[in-house]
Structure 1
């Protein structure tokens, strides 16, 4: 075995890519003994099959390898990411219609312009510190979080998932749950037009008829929306900028290609960066994947980072090409569990690229990037760049 998939330190750089390529070629449905034993799927077709078959491959027992079974059991079938139909369908219907207001484009563009103005004033900076605030501020605005709390909540969310100390992570999670508990109580008394106000008064279907969402359902899913929105855009935007510094021809194509190149550029950035490294499912019935028999109770992990580099699905997969089409990547998962925030992440990246190409003529790497060390979410945590402002004023 070329890599221990349970060892976060193995993902602290970019050395894991060759190991994934080896597994795709030689052992695409690999039994990984360490970490309690699980199947590791690295080919695109196998990954799609698992995502689509939620009846056999369940999410309710956790969706990552280091899942705490007791913590998952406490929110299973109440938190979207660890739910199966029909509860998943009922929750997603309510959450999906509440998270996207009509004026979303304007909100995102205003935040992007503010952040780019700050970045261009500095000229030389860690661009991760800029792009990480984009999804945080957008999601906070949607949730109805007071503006003075935006950056604090973003830092606390980062600490909840990325602090190396387990006790510190738990403390940050507790702070977030307490914050949303208090905010929900305020919205129940004085509702507004934000996400929390909407879901607090909406109703979901159940086997016993319609009812309002419980406080617990709202709070744990606020945490999920905040976490999901934070990670994908931050790592994709930073990783996309790194890719442009390494592929100047693609930066030139982005700047000269006009509006029509933005959608394909967004999809290629999402495929190329793949912030969500793996997801886990639990087999509810006997199954067969490739040449392997899967037993009831087996944990099955889908390695999105590998599936998105599978030559069988993406010709020239190791090339960054912003005009790639088709580009049916698995960055947002698939099937019933297609990420709730996919639409928002695409919008944020689209507007970020539009404004970037208007306001910035060149992006230059001025130091070595550093990466997160995690087998669950991966990307640049430090990316020092020099920005050259465009000479053409923006409108």
Structure 2
């Protein structure tokens, strides 16, 4: 690949509009094989190194001393102001050890095997109810919103301590933050305040309005999400008199001595938004895999008990909902033969790493018989996703219900994909089923 060809490929990889038609897997594969680490120009930023190979992605993620989450945050785009950067640094996602470990220990007890096991029966009940609703409702349905979006909302509301009737607030907040590059999502307002709590209605009074050009304020800064932060504080006051085993109650118990107000707000943001997105898009991504590979759907239907675990891992690898994350080099170093200078952005591509042919044989093939491999959907190193076990539990529960309670699933139209170079999102997915 010539320098000019590489520049054209990286421009497509960076452009969020590319992903409306699907990720540029061919370009990623060629760059991965020929270069491994490539420079990407940013139209509105200084540019970054994109890391494409599985081993190099692992190296970056397990070495926070060299590749920092805190120096510039973990999103490709730099925070707009120094004040915004200082604020997002108080989020666990944007911390390095030992600060990161301090906050992680606080909330980890909500995601132990015992805690997830206690939650499993409720997850399975939610999955049954959602499939009930699907079967009793319109056929075809929009699987992405009517089914896939609601299961993680139910589960996250329980884990976080949000009243169930307010769960669609989490949907709207996620849309505004994750979908800021997509016109449909940037101004999302699916939540019906008449069906929510008084807490929700009070917080919604602070929701910003679009400007004359239809744009909302930047959701990556504190000023862009005043309704989310207001809700966090209102819910905290509610929980003081009604504590439980949820994350909000845990944070309140530690707040006065262990965490600051900024850390409290950012942890709520992290669980309300980031805690929702991987699974919300992983579920329809898994459905797309089954729809496009009828032989694999038949195999799963024939033996769901034995194959559902492997199917879930393959769905996650094949789709890869979170495509990239960013680090910043703290010192000059070398990666895949490329010199990286201190202060350079370093962006790891989970999407490319999960298609690395040196780790996954025939990586573009969706195969639910594949031995569970070392996919990086939930990250690697100190920031490995706390909710990975709960996410897998939800995927298993829902797809087991779907394949045992329908005789066939088929597409009823083309999916609508998110305009984003960060999240491999599914906005709409028309699906028809046979009982």
Does the pair score TM above 0.5?
yes
* 1:7 paired to 2:25: no
Aligned to 1:393: none
CA 1:56–1:15: 2 relative to 1, 3 Å: closer
Aligned to 2:421: 375
> Which structure features the higher share of strand residues?
1
* Contact residue 236 and residue 273 of structure 1 kept, 8 A: yes
Pairing 1:280-319 to 2, within 5 Å after superposition: 280-319=326-365
Unaligned segments of structure 1, at least 5 residues:
205-210, 390-395
Distance 1:380 1:319 in 2: 20
* Contact residue 201 and residue 212 of structure 1 kept, 8 A: no
Counterpart pick for 2:168 among 129, 148, 151: 151
Instruction: Give a deviation string over 1:342-378, Cα, whole Å, max 9, x none.
Output: 1211111111122112212211101111111111111
* Contact residue 362 and residue 388 of structure 1 kept, 8 A: yes
* 1:87 paired to 2:99: yes
Counterpart pick for 1:49 among 39, 59, 66: 59
**2:64 is paired with a residue of what secondary structure?**
coil
Aligned to 2:319: 273
Counterpart pick for 1:249 among 295, 305, 318: 295
* 1:140 paired to 2:140: no
The alignment covers a number of residue pairs equal to 382
* Contact residue 254 and residue 261 of structure 1 kept, 8 A: yes
* 1:73 paired to 2:81: no
Q: Which region of structure 1 is more displaced relative to structure 2, 98-107 or 9-18?
A: 98-107
Unaligned segments of structure 2, at least 5 residues:
1-6, 187-214
How big is the alpha-carbon RMSD for the aligned residues of Structure 1 and Structure 2? 1.9
Q: Which region of structure 1 is more displaced relative to structure 2, 300-309 or 285-294?
A: 285-294
* 1:177 paired to 2:229: yes
CA 1:220–1:99: 2 relative to 1, 3 Å: farther
For normalisation by structure 1, the TM-score amounts to: 0.92
CA 1:21–1:229: 2 relative to 1, 3 Å: same
**2:360 is paired with a residue of what secondary structure?**
coil
CA 1:128–1:197: 2 relative to 1, 3 Å: same
Offset at 1:258?
3.5
**1:103 is paired with a residue of what secondary structure?**
helix
**1:53 is paired with a residue of what secondary structure?**
coil
**2:283 is paired with a residue of what secondary structure?**
helix
Counterpart pick for 2:143 among 111, 116, 127: 127
CA 1:172–1:150: 2 relative to 1, 3 Å: farther
CA 1:315–1:99: 2 relative to 1, 3 Å: closer
Pairing 1:99-110 to 2, within 5 Å after superposition: 99=111, 101=115, 103-110=118-125
Aligned to 2:210: none
**2:422 is paired with a residue of what secondary structure?**
coil
